[in-house]
Amino acid sequence: MSLATKFPKNFKLATATAAYQIEGAKDLNGRGFSTWDAIRLEPGRILDNSDPDLSCDGLLKYKEDVALLAEIGVTNYRFSISWSRILPDGTLSTINEEGIKFYRDLCLLLKENNIEPVVTLFHFDMPLAIYDNGTAWLNRENCEHFEKFADLCFQKFGDLVKTWITYNEINCQAWGSIVKVEGEFWLCPERPEIENHKQAPYFGAANMLLTHAKIYRNYDQNYKPTQHGILGITNGGRFCFPATDSQEDIEACNRARDWLFNFTIEPILSGSGDFPVLMRERMPFIPKFSEEEKEIIKGSTDFIGINYYLSFLVRAPKDGEKASSQSQHDGGYVFVEGKWDKICGETWIRYAPDGLLKILRYVKEKYANTPVFITENGCMDIVGQDQEDAFHDQHRIDYISGHLEAVAKALDEGCNVIGYTVWTLMDNFEWDDGFELKFGLCEVDFESPDKTRTMKKSAYFYKEFIKEFKDFHGI
């Protein structure tokens, strides 16, 4: 029995992009100015110092990109809708019909090619006017604007979209997209520090969780009965293993799992509707949900998305040791170099499919086998390779196939996995790394005026894998 035949007929085999990372056309079709437009104008923020206007030109080349998706044969395509392209200032005061037409045209073309859209409503990119209206998710008025944006998307695209995701990596949003936090991802514009700066990730997470839950309840009550879709939320998933068998390291590992994973999904998936107990004990200032809010949050998802790239070894901090990030300081844990291969050279990626299997087992056991959609998994080209070698990306084939084997093992054990997504369709703008790190199944020639796309060896591997899956099931 080959690997491709181990997946059930209704399993989603996808690839993904995000609006800001591929679309470009920031001054076309009435799009508003976004946080990442501002970030790219800040000197030194983007590591490769690339032109702030450089992009994949995905908005202009969407028909070509859908043809690539059809060639690979994916069953689903995950992409995000730019809030700024639909609502230029983030509010319903101006609705951009050209932006709506673009996403409808994209969805229609996908469906003509038997590819189901998977739409993320927020993937790291916020209208700058919203961010500056009380610092992103710290202002509940901004959360209400996002709820209205989501409702508009259900109205305009719900006949075509049957799988929705509210937030991409809500845990990363909390730590990186609100304020600059020591040692964490930095995904927001540079602004002066706010009062209670170090508490911002916890207050932002509370607001986002409640916002997600309200969006879910709205969809569930007012749209699902006629549109028949599902709605979930995506969490960053980096599984933690204790560095040793000592009680101290095991306890530190449990804290790390709370801070890195459970923090932003336990309120939804557990019966408490609240943050992990350990976090409340260590961080007594964390906002408290009312009983009514807990009821809104509990169970507010049809599936949990997990973006998985690597795992961590964790130990307890030594006396007087300074943590390298605020989350490690707050949680009382320290990362140590793990056992996993540096499959892409000296980068942050590690080849750790055992961690993916562990996290799927963890959700099965801790969260009543909630359906899991692996919404991102992939690796970059080996740093320093020449272009010809980059096309023959055997390391990426090994990475993808190893993680697919882990998913097949999880399915065999009864884990409720509903889909797997390769990040990403094409080389693109990788946030603060710019265009240096290339995660694509397809290469993009950024020096060409046509931004020519070319399938890498891994794209052909994925194509053959999906073909074998479809042939086996008669799809």
The pLDDT, as a whole number, for residue 252 is: 98
The pLDDT, as a whole number, for residue 425 is: 98
Q: What whole-number distance in Å separates Cα of residue 15 and Cα of residue 115?
A: 11
Q: Where are the alpha helices (DSSP H) in 301-433?
A: 326-331, 353-366, 387-391, 394-412
Three-class secondary structure of residue 219 per DSSP: helix
Q: What whole-number distance in Å separates Cα of residue 151 and Cα of residue 169?
A: 21
Q: What whole-number distance in Å separates Cα of residue 68 and Cα of residue 355?
A: 31
What is the chain's alpha carbon radius of gyration, rounded to the nearest angstrom?
21
Residue with tokens 């470009």: 24
Reading the block at residue 84, the tokens are 């700024």
> Which residue type does 125 have?
D
The pLDDT, as a whole number, for residue 384 is: 81
Q: Where are the alpha helices (DSSP H) in 57-114?
A: 62-72, 83-86, 97-112
| pLDDT over 90 (residue 94) | yes
Kind of pairing, strands 240-242 and 312-315?
A: parallel
Total domains, the chain:
1
The pLDDT, as a whole number, for residue 149 is: 99
Three-class secondary structure of residue 273 per DSSP: coil
With cut-offs at 50, 70 and 90, classify the pLDDT of residue 390.
Answer: confident
Mean pLDDT of the chain, nearest integer = 97
Output the CA–CA distances (angstroms, integers) from residue 344 to 218, 294, 380, in the order listed.
Answer: 43, 43, 6
Residue pair 113/160 in contact by the 8 Å Cβ criterion: no
Q: What whole-number distance in Å separates Cα of residue 402 and Cα of residue 378?
A: 11
Residue pair 387/405 in contact by the 8 Å Cβ criterion: no
Give the residue numbers spanning the domain of 107.
3-473
Residue pair 425/440 in contact by the 8 Å Cβ criterion: yes
Mean pLDDT of 196-211: 97
Q: What whole-number distance in Å separates Cα of residue 428 and Cα of residue 64?
A: 15
Known catalytic residues are: 169, 376
Model confidence pLDDT, tens digit, residues 44-89: 999 999 999 999 999 999 999 999 999 999 999 999 999 999 999 9
| pLDDT over 90 (residue 383) | no
b/e code 183-222 from CB counts within 10 Å (16+ = b): ebbbbbbeeeeeeebebbbbbbbbbbbbbbbbbbebbbee
| pLDDT over 90 (residue 104) | yes
Percent of the chain whose predicted confidence (pLDDT) is above 90: 96
Q: What whole-number distance in Å separates Cα of residue 164 and Cα of residue 216?
A: 10
Q: What whole-number distance in Å separates Cα of residue 449 and Cα of residue 317?
A: 51
With cut-offs at 50, 70 and 90, classify the pLDDT of residue 402.
Answer: very high
CATH number where 93 lies? 3.20.20.80
Output the CA–CA distances (angstroms, integers) from residue 268 to 139, 264, 360, in the order listed.
Answer: 21, 8, 17
With cut-offs at 50, 70 and 90, classify the pLDDT of residue 338.
Answer: confident
| pLDDT over 80 (residue 287) | yes
Tally Cβ neighbours within 10 Å of residue 122.
Answer: 29
**Nearest CA among 107, 94, 241 for reference residue 162:** 107
Question: Which segments of 182-329 are extended strands (E)?
Answer: 230-236, 240-242, 304-307, 312-315
Q: What whole-number distance in Å separates Cα of residue 163 and Cα of residue 65?
A: 20
**Nearest CA among 441, 439, 440, 438 for reference residue 459:** 441
Task: Quote the DSSP letter at residue 168.
Answer: S
| 379 φ/ψ sector (left φ>0, alpha ψ -120 to 50, else beta) | beta
| 320 φ/ψ sector (left φ>0, alpha ψ -120 to 50, else beta) | left
With cut-offs at 50, 70 and 90, classify the pLDDT of residue 386.
Answer: confident
The pLDDT, as a whole number, for residue 468 is: 98
Reading the block at residue 180, the tokens are 């600059």
- The residue among 319 and 255 whose pLDDT is bigger is 255
Mean pLDDT of 435-443: 97
Reading the block at residue 170, the tokens are 């809500």
Mean pLDDT of 190-196: 93
Tally Cβ neighbours within 10 Å of residue 49.
Answer: 11
Model confidence pLDDT, tens digit, residues 38-50: 999 999 999 999 9
Model confidence pLDDT, tens digit, residues 262-280: 999 999 999 999 999 999 9
| pLDDT over 80 (residue 445) | yes
Q: Report yes or no on whether pTM surpasses 0.95.
A: yes
| pLDDT over 90 (residue 151) | yes
